[in-house]
Amino acid sequence: MTNIKDVAKQAGVSVTAVSRALNNYPDISAETKSHILKVVEELRYYPRASARHLVTNRSNTVGVFYPNLDGTGLKQPFIGHILNEFRTWIGEQGYDLLIFGNTQAPFDRFSFFDRVKYRDVDGVLLLGTPDEPIKQEAEASMPLVGVDHPAQGMRCGSVTSDNRRAVYDLVKVLFHNGYRRFGFAHGPLELPVAMERLQGFYGGLTAVGIASHADWIVDGTFTMEGGQKAGDAILQCRERPDVVICSADISAIGVLQSFHRAGVAVPDEISVVGFDDIDAASYVYPQLTTIRQNKQEMGRKAAQIMLKLINNENLNTPMHYVLPTDLVVRQSTRPLMIPQ
């Protein structure tokens, strides 16, 4: 197996020079560095991560934590979009990802904080994580970036969509287009993003002077199965809403399936609106009207924040970003006129 001494001998330089070239030190000429890296490529030399860690005090690994609250884990389509974009950007800077699994015996006695320290990652991406598991991390100055979670701390950043405003504005648009009876399928309310969307729903109803109907506010769980159960529950009501707004497209697709099984025409009898604009939203029938999140920008921004935190850049500047959304009108609602 090729080692660093073999590279130094082939390149005609010292072992120290090879190490400096590999770790991008500034005190080595561009010509020498280029020559060394060419030899590294020819000999197919891959420095051991543990050895590089001793030199740079970094593992070049970023942890990813996503709670498996609803059993779907990383199968959730929206999470897949974010993670793929994040992986692309962070990978271009030489970082690998380590996905933390659920805590099970014999590791259930270790806190999330202990596991992060044991794995020695350079930072952690938090995907929709509840507050409790990350409090120690924020206090310990570990670089943390929350997606759809307002991670707070000295070396923390976050990126999210304007969830409250998106649903608030949606209710007003639907009201403007003649809808008067509103149902809502929310996600797990322990997740901040799910609570924000529900708050936007209530706020929108208040703004247009409509009271909420408790029987039409159901749990969609951010899953297709949850959406099916939510749709079934709404269909059992003596009176039905004009429209069901869902906190996630995957839930909305489940609602569509429930209505289809029951012979309820969408949008002629009940309209359905989702949130996210995952790929499947335009494939289902009828095609789903939804609130589009800028998933690519969210993943890209999360990676940029993470790199700045790891490199201790701009730590005195807040790195919390709220991105706008767009309403995409398709076939699951009646044609909508959007007021200017």
Report DSSP letters for 246-298, one per residue: ESSHHHHHHHHHHHHHTT--TTTT-EEEEEE--GGGGTSSSPPEEEEP-HHHH
- The reply to whether 61-161+295-324 and 163-293 are identical in fold is yes
Predicted confidence at residue 51, as pLDDT, reads 47
The predicted structure's pLDDT at residue 105? 43
Is 90 exceeded by the pLDDT of residue 198? Answer: yes
Location of structure tokens 């543990």: 50
Superfamily of segment(s) 4-56: lambda repressor-like DNA-binding domains (1.10.260.40)
Q: Is the pLDDT of residue 103 over 70?
A: no
Listed by start position, the domains of the chain span: 4-56, 61-161+295-324, 163-293
pLDDT at 151 over 70: yes
- Average confidence score pLDDT of the chain: 86
pLDDT beyond 60 at 31: yes
pLDDT exceeds cutoff 80 at 270:
yes
Using DSSP, state whether 243 is helix, strand or coil.
strand
Residue predicted with more confidence, 248 or 156: 248
In this predicted structure, the answer to whether residue 50 has a pLDDT above a threshold of 70 is no
Q: Tell me which architecture the domain covering 61-161+295-324 has in CATH.
A: 3-Layer(aba) Sandwich (3.40)
Domain made up of 163-293: CATH architecture: 3-Layer(aba) Sandwich (3.40)
pLDDT for res 49:
52
Q: How far apart are CA 157 and CA 23, in angstroms?
A: 26
Q: Is the pLDDT of residue 213 over 90?
A: yes
How is residue 9 written in tokens?
A: 């001998």
Three-state DSSP state, 28:
coil
Rg over alpha carbons for the chain, rounded to the nearest Å, is 25
- pLDDT of 129: 66
If pLDDT is split at 50, 70 and 90, which confidence band does 119 have? confident
More confident residue, 274 or 105: 274
Q: How far is CA 276 from the centre of its chain?
A: 11
> In this predicted structure, which of 23-27, 111-115, 120-124 has the lowest mean pLDDT?
111-115
Q: Does residue 53 surpass a pLDDT of 60?
A: no
Give dist(CA 171, CA 283) in Å, integer: 24
CB atoms within 10 A of CB 45: 17
Query: What is the DSSP pairing of strand 289-292 with strand 326-328?
Result: antiparallel
Q: Between 4-11 and 30-43, two packed helices, what is the crossing angle to 10 degrees? A: 120
Q: Is the pLDDT of residue 314 over 90?
A: no
Share of residues in the chain with pLDDT > 90 (%) = 53
Residue 236: is its pLDDT beyond 80?
Answer: yes
Q: What is the mean pLDDT of residues 241-264?
A: 97
Residue 160 has what pLDDT? Answer: 95
| pLDDT beyond 90 at 130 | no
* Prediction pTM value: 0.80
Q: Is the pLDDT of residue 262 over 80?
A: yes
